[in-house]
A and B are shown apart, each in its own frame.
Chain A
Amino acid sequence: MIPEIGHIFLISSLVLSLVGGLGPFIFNKELPIRKIAILMCLLVFGSFFTLIYSFVVDDFSVAYVAQNSNINLPIYYKFAATWGAHEGSLILWILSMNIWLLAFISFDKNRNTNFSNLVFGVCSLVIFSFLLFTVFTSNPFERILPIPPLNGADLNPSLQDFAFTVHPPLLYFGYSGLLLPFAISISAMLSGQSNKDWASSSRPWTLLACSFLTVGIGLGSWWAYYELGWGGWWFWDPVENAAFVPWLLTVALVHSLIVTENRNLFVNWSLLLSIFAFAASLLGTFLVRSGILTSVHAFALDPERGLFILGIFSFFVLGGLAIFAFKNSTGNKTSFYSLNSKEFGLLLNNVLLVVLAVSILFGTLYPLLYEAYTGGKQISVGAPYFEFIIFPFSISLGLLQGIALYLSWGSTKSFNFLTKLILESLSIFLLTLVLLFVLFDELIPASFFTIFIFSWLIVGSLLINFSFKSFNKYLDFLNRRIGVLLSHTGMALLVLGVGVVSSYSNEIELILDTGEKIEFLNKDVELLDIKDKNGPNFISKTANIKVLDGGRTFNLQTEKRTYFPSGQVTTEAAIDTGIFRDFYISMGDNFKGDSWSFKLQSKPFIRWIWLGALLITLGTFISSINILRRKS
């Protein structure tokens, strides 16, 4: 009975979203949009809640529950298994779109103008199309009757993990947040809203979406690092790219909206970028859910679903672009700015980010293109391509970002800050090198570029205005620009993490017998024993390893787990974490008797990558909240 109630909720919200979506286009008068938005949100939440309930009470007559849960699954994971596969995650996605819409309406001070009604209408139409997709191709409430199975097939074991349970909701929240800039862009073109107005109403939401995307991607990277057992933090997996491309476009949009709002420039560009960012998020969904790309992100393969998402994509993106081509009624004025202005700096920033996004998208789609037009020959575009591409872009973006905060609108009068910037960043650069030499006894020239960029960014975002004499003034500067400073500093830490971990990492693979001792990077590593252990829904071989590192002794446990409902095997890596380096052991295969292969890795500064992502998340979040507070 409960699943049927959920189904009814879903269908009611489908009808309601159609009414809300067509209303502003047909009636063109005052609609109780806030009430409709609240009701839609409640209905979708109710539907989501009944699905969670079916998971928690082990209702295996619901096919989706039977495929993704199991009696032995710990209760916390039963809860999270709700979004563990396609159908449930789609409901979560729709729920977050509803929450974004409701938030927009609640903060909107121009309520009931033509513009606001249109935003509501476009959002409702998108929500409607996603609901239609769910109800017709991905209904999570479908039953297995008359004989329900006694037990379920279990949640994918790699997903039974804390970071996983929060990574998708946050990422979906970010993805779906791009709905608002899209709807705002369409509505601005249709209503002729002034550029300052629409850009300023789009900016806080774009920032917030960026914040959620960043934390979602960051958590995904962290999860991959400790759960997949390879010790990598980014794999250029097609699905990772599918999240990275919208992120790049969102970052570009965050910057171009500043120009549109303040200078009434880049208007068409911001309008288009809003559509592109949303298109990229839909495209990501399409690639992941249609099964045309295979990767660690396993979703059910179903060409029919792919077709449906492609339909949604075409309708909204092509529709939006057609409006841009034929019905764009926003004013676009020509204005002049010199090559040393803030406008030009932001233009460069946007060009670099967008070209980078397109290159990554191209690398991701190219193998498919190649396969389709050579009749099945396969080619793989891997990390080398992406690393080759991203390097020059990061260097240029980094150099630009270091000076960006000190450029002025129109034209920059004085470049006196450059001397200070160069001197200070050289000193930070040298200090960092000394630190690295003390820590690791070697200097690797390959990392110098990124370390210099790190220093340049740190000085450019934090230190350049610092002086003891006018310390209060400096504090005031920090306070005023806290959001932008945090995110730009986050970028600096991320760059340092990437640079150091990619050149200072070490690893060996070897076979160890119980009791055997080896030395790795001045550490004594001893395999104490291997024990059998039983979990609630898995059995495992647990290797107990003693590490003597200088004066410090600690024990690490790495596991090979076999989950019995599905028979799938996972590796639980043992990680000794540290701010300057992680020590990472993962268990490989069994050889004869009790000897197993192990992989030992040292990962210096890898934490800085996620620390950086966290700061970007915080910075964009704070900026967004500040703007929203100022407005209301």
Chain B
Amino acid sequence: MKRILNLMPLVVFGILVVVLYSFLTQENEQLESVLVDQLVPEFKLPALENPNNILSKSSVNKLPALINVWATWCIACRVEHPFLMQLKNKSTLTVYGLNYKDDRKKALDLLENEGNPFEFSIFDQQGKLAIDLGVYGAPETFFVDKEGIIRERHVGALTQKVWKEKFEKFLNEDNDV
């Protein structure tokens, strides 16, 4: 009896560990599934290039496309910038920018100095569209197919390797149709 009593704390904490472990694995699935296979959400936000030009979902019309969340304060965005330029020059894919919680002037300066890979950038200073997209932080990239459906998302810098592993297949698939 005493033995069993002494074992109790171990058993209780053992169960706690299992429960905590299940939380962790739960979280993983959720991060992946938030908006994948859903339509791009509606929005009304100014363009980065021209504050009077109000963009909406229908402005994102050259599909398939990538929506890339970026900002001048984001370091990893600079890392992926050359790759985005490469994409723009090499492929038929359109890249739209979502300029996230940024300073308009600094953002425009950066595009002028380093090149502009984007068809246009949505200026989302409050992070409104970013919230609807479930953005964790910049950079983040979404693949939108011909039907306007988000097929894949990537959190972190977009590199050649990530492109090959996660995105390239969708482009081929779209060409087949």
Contact = CB atoms under 8 A, between A and B. Distances in A.
Contact of B73 (A154, A290, A303, A310): A154
A313 B28 CA distance: 20
Contacts of A376: 30
A565 B20 contact: no
B101 interface: yes
B96 to A, nearest CB: 20
A279 B9 CA distance: 12
Interface string B18-46: 01111110111010000000000000000
Contacts of B28: 303
Contacts of A322: 10
Contacts of B125: 567
A324 B73 CA distance: 52
Contact of A567 (B13, B22, B23, B102): B102
Interface stretch (A98-106, A367-375, A606-614): A367-375
A63 interface: yes
Contacts of B23: 292, 368, 372
A314 interface: yes
Contact of A303 (B6, B7, B24, B79): B24
A565 B24 contact: no
A560 to B, nearest CB: 14
Contacts of B9: 272, 275, 321, 324-325
B10 A566 contact: no
B38 to A, nearest CB: 15
A166 interface: no
Interface string A292-322: 1000000001010011001001100110011
Contact of B17 (A149, A318, A324): A318
B6 A325 contact: yes
Contact of A310 (B17, B26, B75, B102): B17
Given A318-B13, A328-B6, A149 B75 contact: yes
A81 interface: no
B24 A313 contact: no
A310 B27 contact: no
Interface string B135-167: 010000000000000000000000000000000
Given A324-B9, A324-B10, A328-B6, A567 B24 contact: no
B98 to A, nearest CB: 14
Contacts of B74: 153
Contacts of A153: 73-75
A10 interface: no
A292 B27 contact: yes
Interface residues of A, number: 43
B103 interface: yes
A303 B75 CA distance: 22
B6 A372 contact: no
A321 B10 contact: yes
A234 B22 CA distance: 29
The binding surface of chain A is classed by DSSP as helix
A310 B103 contact: no
A152 to B, nearest CB: 8
Contacts of B27: 290-292, 303, 306
Contacts of A267: none
A564 B105 CA distance: 12
A160 to B, nearest CB: 16
Interface centre among B23, B30, B102 (most CB of A within 10 A): B23
A318 B3 CA distance: 16
A314 B24 contact: no
A328 B9 CA distance: 13
A209 B22 CA distance: 32
A35 B80 CA distance: 48
A458 to B, nearest CB: 38
A584 interface: no
A275 B26 CA distance: 28
Interface in A127-153: 144, 147, 149, 151, 153
A291 B136 CA distance: 12
A325 B7 contact: yes
Interface in B1-15: 3, 6-7, 9-10, 13-14
Nearest to A271: B9
Contacts of B7: 325
Contacts of B30: 376
Interface string A271-282: 010010001000
Given A147-B78, A567-B101, A318 B14 contact: yes
A67 interface: yes
Contacts of B22: 372
A566 B75 contact: no
B26 A371 contact: yes
Given A303-B27, A310-B24, A325-B6, A317 B75 contact: no
Contact of B75 (A66, A307, A567): A66
Given A144-B79, A286-B20, A313-B17, 5 more contacts: A67-B75, A292-B27, A365-B19, A368-B23, A566-B101
In the A-B complex, the 10 residue pairs with the closest CB atoms: A321-B10, A567-B101, A325-B6, A149-B75, A153-B73, A321-B9, A325-B7, A314-B17, A292-B23, A306-B24
Interface of A: 63, 66-67, 144, 147, 149, 151, 153-154, 268, 272, 275, 279, 283, 286, 290-292, 301, 303, 306-307, 310, 313-314, 317-318, 321-322, 324-325, 328, 365, 368-369, 371-372, 376, 564-568
16 contacts: A147-B78, A153-B73, A153-B75, A283-B20, A290-B27, A292-B27, A303-B24, A307-B24, A310-B24, A313-B17, A317-B17, A321-B10, A322-B10, A325-B10, A368-B23, A567-B101
